[in-house]
Amino acid sequence: MLIKEDLQAFVQEKLGDYLFVVVSNRQPYEHVYKKGKIECQRPSGGVITALDPVMQACHGLWIAASSGEADHRVTDRFNKIEVPADSPAYSLKRVWLTKPEVEGYYYGYSNDALWPLCHTAFQRPVFNQEDWQHYTNVNQKFAKAVMDEVGEAKAFIWIQDYHFCLLPKLLKDMAAANQLIIAHFWHIPWPSYEAFRICPQKDEILEGMLANDMIGFHTHYHCNNFIEVVDRQLESKIDRERFSVIRHDHETLIRPYPISVDFEEINRKVQQNDFKNMEGELIEEFHLDNYRLLLGVDRIDYTKGIPERLDAIDRLLEKHPELKEKIIFLQLGVLSRIHIAKYKALNDEINALVEKINWKHSTDGWSPVIFIRGNISSAKLQLLYRMAQVCIVSALHDGMNLVAKEFVSAHYDEDGVLVLSQFAGSARELAEAVLINPYDSEQFSDSIYQALTMPEEERRKRMVKMRQTVHENNIYRWAGKFISGLLKIEFKEQEVAV
């Protein structure tokens, strides 16, 4: 296991004078107006959850798109600010995008084309040439922002996710020879060749990504998919022993690095006295007293399987009416990409399902489903993880899913059951969860019943094993392995054992 201080010492020793730069679309902190005052808040999402503690340990530079209405009021003339506000540990540089750029690059090509292309959730990708042009322009804008900061220095550039397929090549073309070492972590699944080949811009995407020195995915399966796509689409040399692609005399290593969470921090926080005091407030706020709590936490996205989850709750209560007035299913949902028609339709579908289930099963003073939209504080979220006897993660397709790992990290009591989709990357690590096929409502509902009726000894046995897995493979170990792979590229060392 690697802890925060270990990663900090490792980076300081190995990186030397190299700049350490992370690039992502979503920023780790945004500034918004609340009651006439500027407040700093942390957006939701797995990238932020995972990388913020890493950056606090590494003291690097994070470059991201501005998303807060008050962001411009707090940044300096270089568009930078030190974060987090209460204990500054690294620099955040904001890139300003126009509304047409956000519409085309983010809502358009990134999330109406690449997102459905990469997820097997039976949504048709939409490839629009104007969206592609915005995507290209924004990648160029980020390349300029990176090089403005790097100048003539040597730097490690760590690119995050599907928003920046073109960025690696743009950076290599702008930089001096051997100036930059670039790695890319792909947080979502990589599709099979049969799926990827429909993309009109497939060659440009692959050319951009193969300018990376290393590409990381969550699983071996996604690595294999990427190599197969390259092998069948571009003229290149595939080295299957080194798991690398060589094109135009440039080698790109392909590696599986399953992402994780800050186990120690979550485990520590939920045991603090102020958390215990907050529990009473949450019980009163959501009327949870004397009920067994089932919990779902997601962005409202069609890949997360929220309608399938609600159908399973409905079927559970049909088959086991004795559970009425004994359980509550609390679904936390953050509105996402509502400008895209299919997301708006999903939100409407979820509203209708919640209303139907509550009308069908409710009794005087009790309704089975509570649906809460919007962000809640990380403290409240972690406490709800600990309070929940069952956490349901029913993704139809997911690269990893950190909700599952956060739930496990919060259960210092070594109790609770995780009901987990077999189509989430985390299912490969958390085999002791109750695994489900979210498309099979009968098996899904039976699995929830199994979780609710599981003997305490078995619950604890499963939870202890999952906690050991997340504890040993925490976010700092993930980052250490990734950075070690970068160092091997630059210094021709053996990868550091972490």
Cis amide prior to 84 (ω within 30 degrees): yes
- More confident site: 262 or 5: 262
Q: Which residues contact 1 (CB under 8 A, 6 or more apart)?
A: 471, 472, 474, 477
Print burial letters for 374-396: b (CB count within 10 Å at least 16), e (below 16).
Answer: eebeeebbbbbbbbbbbbbbbbb
Does residue 466 sit in helix, strand or coil? helix
Question: What is the per-residue pLDDT for 1?
Answer: 73
pLDDT tens sequence across 174-226: 999 999 999 999 999 999 999 999 999 999 999 999 999 999 999 999 999 99
Q: Report the DSSP beta bridge partners of residue 250.
A: 247
Domain at 4-259+475-491, CATH from 3.30.43.10, 3.40.309.10, 3.20.20.80, 3.40.50.2000: 3.40.50.2000
Percent of the chain with pLDDT over 70: 98
The H or E element spanning position 8 is helix 4-15
Fold agreement between 4-259+475-491 and 265-470: yes
Question: Residue 97's closest CA among 57, 127, 137, 125?
Answer: 137
pLDDT tens sequence across 348-397: 999 999 999 999 999 998 999 999 988 888 889 999 999 999 999 999 99
Global pTM value = 0.94
Residues 328/295, Cβ–Cβ less than 8 Å:
no
Fold of 265-470: Rossmann fold (3.40.50)
The H or E element spanning position 334 is strand 327-334
Mean of per-residue pLDDT scores for the chain: 93
For the CA atoms of 373, 54, 207, 138, what is the dihedral angle to 10 degrees? 50
Taking 60 as the threshold, does the pLDDT of residue 409 lie above it?
yes
pLDDT band at 15 (very low <50, low <70, confident <90, very high): confident
The H or E element spanning position 252 is strand 250-256
Domains of the chain by residue range: 4-259+475-491, 265-470
pLDDT tens sequence across 149-164: 999 999 999 999 999 9
Question: Residue 357's closest CA among 317, 299, 320?
Answer: 317
> Distance of CA 272 to CAs 87, 286, 288, 456, 474, Å?
20, 22, 21, 25, 21
Residues 245/227, Cβ–Cβ less than 8 Å:
yes
Question: What is the per-residue pLDDT for 492?
Answer: 52
Taking 90 as the threshold, does the pLDDT of residue 335 lie above it?
no
Question: What is the per-residue pLDDT for 315?
Answer: 98
287 sits in the region (left: phi over 0; alpha: psi -120 to 50; else beta) called: left
pLDDT band at 495 (very low <50, low <70, confident <90, very high): very low
